Amino acid sequence: MIKLLLLLLTVFLCGPLSAQTKQSKNTGNKNSNPTWVKNIPAEDVITWRRHIHQNPELSFNEENTGKYVEEVLKSFPNIEVIRPAKTSVIGILKGAKPGKTVAFRADMDALPMQEETDLPFKSKAENVMHSCGHDAHTAVLLGTAATLSKMQNQLKGTVYFIFQHAEESPPGGAIDIINSGALKGVDAFFGMHVLPNFPAGHVGILPVGAASTAQDVFHLNIIGKGSHGSMPHLGIDPIVVGAAIVSALQSVVSRNVEPGEMTVVTIGKFQSGDAFNVIADRAELAASIRTTTDKTRKQVEERIKEIIDNITKAYGATYELEYVPTYPAIQNDEALNAHARKSAVGILGKEQVFDAPMMTASEDFAYYRKIAPVSFMTLGIGDGAANHNPKFTVDESALQNGVKAQVQIILDYLNK
Ligand SMILES: [Zn+2]
Ligand SMILES: [Zn+2]
């Protein structure tokens, strides 16, 4: 359920990286050029991506995408395919020698929106579009699996290629795969998300610690007592109660959360009343809350609940509150981040690796940390519309660098 639109707005407004957006050409690999680079099926990666793009499926409905991925994986040597959830697929590559187990994750779902590009391979499905780039994630990881499947003799350990369903829709697909038990024994998880308006093929290393935000949502019904607008003493005005709650909630970030800790409390909905001379009997509020640590997440939830409870009591109203946690924040591991950076620089050169700013969006990749440390990174895809925009496109010249970085990260992790 990544809200990359928010992320991209943040990134656009953040200036310091804008200089990088001007060089949108992939300058190619100037450094080492290991022989395996020749084995990257660059054209196939584009074919796979276009097929998936043209045939998008919504979260939890990735039946055909899952089948397609399974067939492609089965066409590679040495890969065992398992289905940990109805529409998820994992390819497992066991190296010639024993060692650690490393997982790379791609997500496969599309979004409920009408594509507005004029691509020759635009979506054939009405109101379904790959506007978050998960088609590219899937194709790049297939390219990585294809390349590594020919290097089994050189591998020490096991690689899991995770093709995950339903990233865009909480509770998300990651938790299904984790609960299936299929990932027991994985020592490290990596993931890579495409990011427009960064140079095509440049890999962005997200911060250590919080790399994205946790998002919680609440829905609140304030139940007052309706009355004539001229007889307020006979009613309990839910609008006055709601206004007091909205004002008091502003103090959570400004007075309770430690200064400097990124936290947002946004009341996105406040609806009540139909007529100017009637005191309504109910008011509806809804909010989204973004935090980056478990401690603050819990603290903010507690304060919000206290404020709502006490203010409604003070005004003689009652309430119904639904507080819904969605994805936690991705917590990038320091050692894995350093590893990803070193490998990416090693294969792409340092001019094609940059420090990406924290995503203010949320991602269910965060859940894999329940099993092992994680590192999430970005892949620049050139100038264009934001993720989740109907005009979103991917500069396909970026995909080869995505495969190169993924292969190198896996090789280095297993063979170090
Ligand atoms: Zn998304
Ligand atoms: Zn996404």
167 Cβ contact partners less than 8 Å away, ≥ 6 residues apart: 1, 2, 59, 107, 109, 132, 134, 173, 174, 363, 364, 365
Q: Is the Cβ–Cβ distance between 174 and 90 less than 8 Å?
A: no
Single-letter residue type at 281:
D
Q: Inform me whether the pLDDT recorded for 28 exceeds 60.
A: no
Single-letter residue type at 19:
A
User: Per-residue pLDDT averaged across 301-309, rounded?
Assistant: 98
Q: Is the Cβ–Cβ distance between 388 and 111 less than 8 Å?
A: yes
Q: Is the Cβ–Cβ distance between 60 and 166 less than 8 Å?
A: yes
Round to whole Å and give the CA distance between 373 and 302.
Answer: 28
Query: What pLDDT is attached to residue 29?
Result: 45
Query: What pLDDT is attached to residue 1?
Result: 52
Query: What pLDDT is attached to residue 183?
Result: 98
Q: In what order do the strands lie in the sheet with 318-325?
A: 264-272, 282-291, 214-223, 318-325
Closest C-alpha among 230, 112, 174, 194 to residue 372: 174
Q: Is the Cβ–Cβ distance between 135 and 175 less than 8 Å?
A: no
* pLDDT-derived band at 32, boundaries 50, 70, 90: low
User: Per-residue pLDDT averaged across 292-296, rounded?
Assistant: 93
DSSP, collapsed to helix, strand or coil, labels residue 285 as strand
Calculate what percentage of the chain has a pLDDT beyond 90: 90
Round to whole Å and give the CA distance between 117 and 101.
Answer: 40
User: Which domains does the chain possess?
Assistant: 4-212+329-415 (3.40.630.10), 214-325 (3.30.70.360)
DSSP, collapsed to helix, strand or coil, labels residue 181 as coil
Residue 368: exposure state from Cβ atoms within 10 A (0-12, 13-18, ≥19): buried
Q: Is the Cβ–Cβ distance between 147 and 44 less than 8 Å?
A: no
CA 131 / ligand 1 centre spacing (Å): 7
222 vs 18, which has greater pLDDT?
A: 222
Using alpha carbons only, give the angle 362, 365, 367 rounded to the nearest 5 degrees.
100
Q: Inform me whether the pLDDT recorded for 9 exceeds 90.
A: no
CA 32 / ligand 1 centre spacing (Å): 34
Of 23-27, 66-70, 110-114, 401-405, the range with the lowest mean pLDDT is 23-27
CA 91 / ligand 1 centre spacing (Å): 23
pLDDT digits (tens, 9 = 90+) for 240-250: 999 999 999 99
- Strand 227-228 relative to strand 278-279: parallel, antiparallel, unpaired? antiparallel
- CA of 133, nearest ligand number: 2
CA 109 / ligand 1 centre spacing (Å): 9
Query: What pLDDT is attached to residue 236?
Result: 98
- CA of 107, nearest ligand number: 2
pLDDT digits (tens, 9 = 90+) for 371-395: 999 999 999 999 999 999 999 999 9
Q: What distance separates the 2 farthest-apart alpha carbons in the chain?
A: 84
Closest C-alpha among 111, 206, 167, 200 to residue 384: 200
pLDDT digits (tens, 9 = 90+) for 143-195: 999 999 999 999 999 999 999 999 999 999 999 999 999 999 999 999 999 99
Q: Inform me whether the pLDDT recorded for 18 exceeds 60.
A: no
CB within 5 A of ion ligand 2: which residues?
A: 2, 132
Q: Inform me whether the pLDDT recorded for 225 exceeds 80.
A: yes
Q: Inform me whether the pLDDT recorded for 108 exceeds 70.
A: yes
DSSP labels, 234-276: GSB-HHHHHHHHHHHHHHIIIIISPTTS--EEEEEEEEE-S-T
Placement of tokens 């509806």 in the chain: 284
CA 119 / ligand 1 centre spacing (Å): 20
Round to whole Å and give the CA distance between 298 and 263.
Answer: 12
Q: How many other CB atoms sit within 10 Å of the CB of residue 391?
A: 12
Query: What pLDDT is attached to residue 361?
Result: 85
Query: What pLDDT is attached to residue 360?
Result: 83
Round to whole Å and give the CA distance between 400 and 49.
Answer: 12
184 Cβ contact partners less than 8 Å away, ≥ 6 residues apart: 371
Query: What pLDDT is attached to residue 92?
Result: 98
Q: Inform me whether the pLDDT recorded for 59 exceeds 50.
A: yes
* pLDDT-derived band at 8, boundaries 50, 70, 90: very low
User: Per-residue pLDDT averaged across 354-380, rounded?
Assistant: 96
Round to whole Å and give the CA distance between 144 and 408.
Answer: 9
CA 193 / ligand 2 centre spacing (Å): 7
Q: Inform me whether the pLDDT recorded for 24 exceeds 50.
A: no
Q: Inform me whether the pLDDT recorded for 17 exceeds 90.
A: no
What is the residue-averaged pLDDT of the chain?
A: 93
CA 5 / ligand 1 centre spacing (Å): 8
Q: Inform me whether the pLDDT recorded for 96 exceeds 80.
A: yes
Using alpha carbons only, give the angle 316, 317, 319 rounded to the nearest 5 degrees.
145
Q: Inform me whether the pLDDT recorded for 217 exceeds 50.
A: yes
Question: Distances from the Cα of 403 to the Cαs of 63, 67, 133, 396, 398, in angstroms?
Answer: 25, 22, 15, 12, 9
